[in-house]
């Protein structure tokens, strides 16, 4: 359609405005603040075949921007815990929780961002090492309370744990020696204090 | 036992007594027209039912499936056999109360189950085999998901040991339906079948309804099992992650009541949730007590009888101008069981700019998804309305006289300009709106009306004049062309006491018309109103208005539909002028069984008003004479 035709369409607008004829109607706010933050969601799920697939599929289909997703056992054999870190504004993250709740296998979802938590992840970093710099690498590892878990001809494996930022820092430092291989578990998170997301299920 | 040709087979008596009188149970809702063809069909069916296994055999997974369907109150389901579901077909004859309708394509089976569910409020059931049988169901399952229809879709799969081996007709249907069902199952062991079926039906119909898919390996259908069906309490206990909230929070209800007391220009937006909750009486009581007019979404049609004084009309992209105008000027929208779909709101930024919103929905994820709302209420439409009505002050119509008079004025204006389109029918042009209006009148607005997708769908929604809940069936969310004929098939079996009309365009009809033969074989009395404009009408309309008349692929060649119907043994009538409409409808109504009317309607009629995609409700196009330079 030509521009003039588009104008034509607008010109046929027939809005009814109870306010003064000359004032444009107010604009409806879209849901959400639009301020994007990193959020950590913990989902307690039934340990059934396909549950990870369901969660991952939902995230993709709903266009949610997730950074990491990890699954682990809990103290109850039939229940698993998923930790999801994602970027989004308040409403987007609320939508993720609500959509997760729609899954039959999801028992509980909690947004841990803004709460006092312990946040830890573990990394294994295989670093190039020579006889001349191995001692130096050991020192760097000690500084970060990391440790060497394997020493071989030409390389060492450093096991580092801590918050995501701490692990980022040691990875950055070790990069100068040459990282051959890197694996990170993703963040594990738990609220401080005596409250328990698992106990909350047993109501 | 020897069977001599031409002589009836000797009946093994023990089996016979158990299977007494299956036909009476099953055929109550199909008219018996006494023709030779009908008798032949009857005979074939009875023969099929009597050819059963000896009764002394052990209970296998396939028996559990049939038992579960019967326990859930299923009287009819729609299926198509195939290699891996043959164990089920092998035992079906032992369950004569369970009527199986053999469709011509699995998609038709899924839509039929959908149509059945929509008019009855019960769970519709369809069945397909593995591989292509399963993938053919997918469109129907998606249609049910987007419109929240309670459905259980059953498929067979290859034996457990062959899963993952790319066996013949193996496809990962569980992975395919995972994102398009409310929940799905893969069953590899017959012992799991009782629990899975009980859970599936519970999930499908509880809370926000939706489709559930059960994939069963062939060996699970064949295994012997003694596991009994769980009680409803055991089912609920086994689903700790599924606890829908039915009652609105009292604090939120109080806030809503305060909003309603303050509002000067309130409007109720009724959606499909009102029908799911069977809350039409509660809605009417609430509207009458508060004197608030009611508008409805496409799937909310029937929530309020259209001849009620407070019934205002159909909203949205092709809704009435007066309704959209009222929404744009409202100061309070009370949205009940609807989800602010883009076809309802248009551009959200310009939607209802003066309105605060009370949003009632059973699915918390719908609240705040598309529009920001002031008062969220999570709950069942019926329970919320019943709780809210006593909390609001009675407002007589007189107290809103100024507002209601303005609405009435807008309505008169809008109906004068768009009722019956251009009014071209007066000059002998056969327009679709005229046909729809006549169908409504001649059926006394009491039939079930099933729409396909496109212009025909909008004409039906706008002009029929619905009076009863669940009398309108339409694929709203997914917009599935080819939906109407098979869905009408299911609707007719679900509501045998009502006439069932399928309103279909020539495009949609050519997608699924193989089900005509199902109508004949199972003698399902659907009346088909075929709107033939020899076009993909809505495509043509968009191309005319938004693509400068570039009508690529909008012209659709069709067969001689009367001959086509005739080939299926279906009486066909044809109407090309307004004068021929009433006689054709009456003739079709007089047929005992399915009938088709071929309406050769005006080829270039558009549906107006129309909201362009991305625009707002205030930007309706009401007529189009081509772009003016």
| ipTM of the shown complex | 0.84
A28–B348: do the CB atoms touch at under 8 Å?
A: yes
Active site annotation includes B168: yes
Question: For A56, which residue in chain B has the nearest alpha carbon?
Answer: B179
Active site annotation includes B182: no
Confidence of residue A195 (pLDDT cuts 50, 70, 90): confident
Active site annotation includes B106: yes
pLDDT of B40: 57
Handedness of CA B134, B140, B143, B147 (dihedral sign): negative
A57–B545: do the CB atoms touch at under 8 Å?
A: no
Q: Are residues A102 and A134 in the same domain?
A: no
Q: Are residues A40 and A110 in the same domain?
A: yes
H/E stretch holding A109: strand A106-111
Q: Is B179 on the interface with A (CB under 8 A)?
A: yes
| CB-count burial class (<10 Å; 0-12, 13-18, 19+) for B401 | exposed
Question: For A95, which residue in chain B has the nearest alpha carbon?
Answer: B365
Q: In terms of residues, how long is chain A?
A: 203
DSSP-assigned letter for residue B233: H
A14–B353: do the CB atoms touch at under 8 Å?
A: no
B526 token code pair: 């659907």
From B304, B458, B538, B611, active-site residue: B538
Q: Is A54 on the interface with B (CB under 8 A)?
A: yes
Q: Is B237 on the interface with A (CB under 8 A)?
A: no
List chain A residues with CB under 8 Å of B182.
Answer: 102, 104
Q: Are residues A163 and A139 in the same domain?
A: yes
Indicate the number of domains in chain A. Answer: 2
* Within-domain flag for A12: no
List chain A residues with CB under 8 Å of B628.
Answer: 4-5, 8
Q: Are residues A45 and A110 in the same domain?
A: yes
* Within-domain flag for A180: yes
Active site annotation includes B623: no
Q: Which of A50, A83, A115 is the last residue before a domain boundary? A: A115
B179–A58: do the CB atoms touch at under 8 Å?
A: yes
> In terms of residue numbers, what domain contains A139?
118-189
Q: Is B394 on the interface with A (CB under 8 A)?
A: no
B372–A30: do the CB atoms touch at under 8 Å?
A: yes
Q: Are residues A107 and A143 in the same domain?
A: no
Q: Are residues A111 and A122 in the same domain?
A: no
B548–A104: do the CB atoms touch at under 8 Å?
A: no
Decide the pairing of beta strands B356-361 and B375-378.
parallel
* Within-domain flag for A164: yes
pLDDT of B181: 97
Confidence of residue A68 (pLDDT cuts 50, 70, 90): confident
Residues 6+ apart with CB under 8 A from B140: B106, B107, B109, B110, B111, B113, B114, B126, B153, B480
**What pTM was estimated for this model as a whole?**
0.88
Question: For A28, which residue in chain B has the nearest alpha carbon?
Answer: B349
Rounded to an integer, what distance in angstroms lies between the CA atom of residue B626 and that of residue B623?
Answer: 9
pLDDT of A31: 84
H/E stretch holding B573: strand B572-575
Q: Are residues A44 and A59 in the same domain?
A: yes
Q: Are residues A67 and A132 in the same domain?
A: no
CA of A78 vs chain B CAs: smallest distance (Å): 12
* pLDDT score of A7 more than 70: no
Domain holding A106: CATH number? 3.30.70.260
pLDDT of B318: 94
* Within-domain flag for A60: yes
Q: Which of B178, B370, B627 sits opposite A8 (nearest CB)?
A: B627
CB B86 within 8 A of CB B120: no
**Strands, DSSP E only, in B21-87?**
76-79
B236 token code pair: 């609920």
* Within-domain flag for A99: yes
* pLDDT score of A145 more than 50: yes
Could you say which residues from 140 to 169 on chain B have a Cβ atom under 8 Å away from some Cβ of chain A?
A: none
A14–B183: do the CB atoms touch at under 8 Å?
A: no
* Within-domain flag for A199: no
B265–A18: do the CB atoms touch at under 8 Å?
A: yes
CA dist B503 → B112, B114, B445, B527 (Å): 15, 16, 14, 9
Q: Which of A13, A19, A201 sits opposite B619 (nearest CB)?
A: A13
**Model confidence pLDDT, tens digit, residues A35-56:** 888 899 999 999 998 899 999 9
Q: Are residues A56 and A126 in the same domain?
A: no
Rounded to an integer, what distance in angstroms lies between the CA atom of residue B415 and that of residue B121?
Answer: 33
Q: Which of B241, B326, B372 sits opposite A104 (nearest CB)?
A: B241
Q: Are residues A151 and A86 in the same domain?
A: no
Domain holding A182: CATH number? 3.30.70.1150
Q: Which of A92, A115, A138 is the last residue before a domain boundary? A: A115
Q: Which of A3, A51, A104 is the mutation pick for testing B, counting most B CBs within 10 A?
A: A104
Question: How many Cβ atoms sit within 10 Å of the Cβ of residue B230?
Answer: 17
List chain B residues with CB under 8 Å of A2.
Answer: 548, 627, 629
List chain B residues with CB under 8 Å of A95.
Answer: 365, 368-369
Question: How many Cβ atoms sit within 10 Å of the Cβ of residue B297?
Answer: 27
pLDDT of B33: 54
CB A88 within 8 A of CB A140: no
| CB-count burial class (<10 Å; 0-12, 13-18, 19+) for A161 | middle
* Within-domain flag for A94: yes
Q: Is B224 on the interface with A (CB under 8 A)?
A: no
Residues 6+ apart with CB under 8 A from A198: A44, A74, A75, A76, A79
CA of A158 vs chain B CAs: smallest distance (Å): 39
* Within-domain flag for A73: yes
Confidence of residue A115 (pLDDT cuts 50, 70, 90): confident
List chain A residues with CB under 8 Å of B265.
Answer: 18
Question: For B618, which residue in chain A has the nearest alpha carbon?
Answer: A15
Q: Is A8 on the interface with B (CB under 8 A)?
A: yes
Q: From A51, A52, A34, select the one nearest A93 (Cα to Cα).
A: A34
Q: Are residues A62 and A84 in the same domain?
A: yes
Q: From B111, B104, B94, B99, select the one nearest B75 (Cα to Cα).
A: B99
Q: Are residues A47 and A108 in the same domain?
A: yes
CB B420 within 8 A of CB B437: yes
Q: Which of A115, A131, A148 is the last residue before a domain boundary? A: A115
Tell me the average confidence (pLDDT) per consecutive run of 10 residues in chain B, 629 residues long. Answer: 41 39 40 55 54 69 97 96 97 95 98 98 98 98 98 97 94 96 97 98 98 98 96 95 95 98 97 98 98 98 97 96 96 97 94 96 95 96 98 96 97 77 73 94 98 97 96 97 98 97 98 97 97 96 94 96 96 96 97 97 91 89 67
* pLDDT score of A166 more than 50: yes
pLDDT of B427: 79
Active site annotation includes B201: no
pLDDT of A186: 85
pLDDT of A11: 37
């Amino acid at each position: 359609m030509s521009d003039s035709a588009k104008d034509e369409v607008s010109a046929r607008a027939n809005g009814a405005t109870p306010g003064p004829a000359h004032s444009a109607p107010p604009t409806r706010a879209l849901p959400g603040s639009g301020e994007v933050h990193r959020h950590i969601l913990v989902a307690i799920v039934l340990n059934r075949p396909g549950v990870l697939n369901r969660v991952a599929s939902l995230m993709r289909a709903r266009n949610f921007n997730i950074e990491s997703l990890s699954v682990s056992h809990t103290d109850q054999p039939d229940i698993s815990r998923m930790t999801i870190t994602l970027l989004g504004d308040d409403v987007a993250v609320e939508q993720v929780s609500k959509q997760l709740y729609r899954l039959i296998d999801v028992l509980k979802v909690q947004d841990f961002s803004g709460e006092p938590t312990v946040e830890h992840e573990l990394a294994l970093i295989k670093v190039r090492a020579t006889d001349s710099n191995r001692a130096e690498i050991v020192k760097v590892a000690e500084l970060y309370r990391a440790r060497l878990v394997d020493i071989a001809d030409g390389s060492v494996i450093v096991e580092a744990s801590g918050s995501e930022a701490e692990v980022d820092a040691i990875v950055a430092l070790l990069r100068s020696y040459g990282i051959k291989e890197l694996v990170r578990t993703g963040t594990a998170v738990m609220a401080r204090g005596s409250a328990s997301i698992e106990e909350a299920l047993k109501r | 036992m020897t069977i001599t040709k031409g002589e009836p087979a000797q009946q093994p008596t023990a089996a016979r007594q158990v299977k007494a009188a299956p036909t009476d149970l099953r055929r109550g809702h199909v008219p018996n027209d006494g023709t030779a063809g009908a008798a032949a069909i009857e005979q074939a069916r009875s023969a099929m039912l009597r050819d059963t296994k000896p009764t002394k055999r052990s209970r296998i997974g396939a028996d559990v499936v049939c038992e579960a369907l019967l326990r859930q109150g299923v009287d009819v389901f729609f299926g198509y056999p195939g290699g891996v579901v043959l164990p089920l077909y092998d035992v079906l004859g032992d369950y004569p109360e369970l009527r199986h309708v053999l469709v011509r394509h699995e998609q038709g089976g899924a839509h039929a189950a959908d149509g059945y569910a929509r008019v009855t409020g019960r769970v519709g059931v369809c069945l397909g085999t593995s591989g292509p049988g399963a993938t053919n169901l997918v469109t129907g399952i998606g249609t049910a998901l987007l419109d929240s229809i309670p459905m259980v879709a059953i498929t067979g799969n290859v034996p457990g040991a062959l899963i993952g081996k790319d066996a013949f007709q193996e496809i990962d249907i569980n992975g395919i339906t995972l994102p398009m069902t409310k929940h799905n199952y893969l069953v590899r062991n017959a012992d799991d079948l009782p629990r899975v079926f009980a859970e599936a039906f519970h999930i499908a119909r509880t809370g926000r309804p939706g489709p559930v898919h059960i994939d069963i390996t062939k060996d699970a259908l064949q295994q012997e099992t003694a596991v009994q069906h769980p009680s409803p309490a055991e089912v609920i206990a086994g689903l700790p992650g599924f606890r829908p909230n039915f009652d609105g929070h009292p604090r939120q209800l109080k806030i809503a009541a305060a909003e309603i007391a303050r509002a000067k220009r309130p409007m109720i937006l009724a959606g499909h949730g009102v029908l799911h909750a069977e809350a039409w009486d509660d809605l009417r009581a609430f509207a009458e007590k508060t004197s608030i007019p009611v508008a409805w979404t496409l799937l909310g049609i029937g929530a309020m009888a259209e001849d009620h004084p407070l019934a205002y009309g159909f909203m949205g992209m092709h809704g009435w101008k007066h309704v959209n105008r009222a929404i744009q000027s409202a100061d309070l929208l009370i949205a009940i069981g609807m989800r602010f779909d883009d076809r309802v709101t248009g551009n959200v930024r310009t939607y209802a700019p003066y309105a605060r919103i009370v949003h009632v929905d059973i699915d918390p994820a719908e609240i705040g998804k598309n529009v920001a709302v002031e008062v969220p209420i999570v709950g069942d439409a019926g329970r919320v309305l019943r709780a809210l009505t006593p909390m609001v002050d009675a407002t007589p119509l007189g107290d809103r006289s100024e507002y209601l008079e303005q609405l009435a004025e807008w309505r008169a204006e809008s109906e004068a300009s768009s009722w019956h389109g251009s009014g071209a029918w007066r000059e002998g042009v056969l327009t679709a709106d005229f046909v729809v209006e006549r169908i409504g009148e001649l059926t006394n607005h009491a039939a079930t009306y099933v729409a396909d997708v496109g212009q025909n769908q909008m004409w039906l929604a706008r002009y029929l004049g619905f009076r009863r809940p669940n009398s309108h069936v339409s694929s709203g969310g997914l917009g599935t062309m080819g939906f109407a004929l098979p869905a009408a098939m299911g609707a007719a079996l679900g509501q045998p006491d009502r006439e069932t009309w399928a309103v279909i365009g020539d495009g949609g009809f050519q997608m699924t018309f193989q089900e005509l033969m199902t109508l004949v074989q199972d003698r399902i009395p659907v009346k088909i109103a075929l709107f033939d404009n020899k076009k993909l009408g809505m495509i043509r309309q968009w191309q005319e208005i938004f693509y400068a008349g570039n009508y690529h692929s909008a012209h659709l060649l069709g067969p001689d539909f009367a001959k086509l119907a005739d080939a299926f043994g279906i009486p066909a009538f044809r109407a090309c002028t307004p004068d021929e409409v009433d006689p054709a409808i009456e003739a079709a109504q007089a047929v005992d069984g399915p009938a088709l009317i071929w309406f050769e309607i005006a080829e270039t009629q558009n549906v107006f008003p129309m909201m362009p995609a991305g625009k707002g409700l205030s930007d309706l196009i009401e007529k189009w004479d081509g772009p003016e330079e």
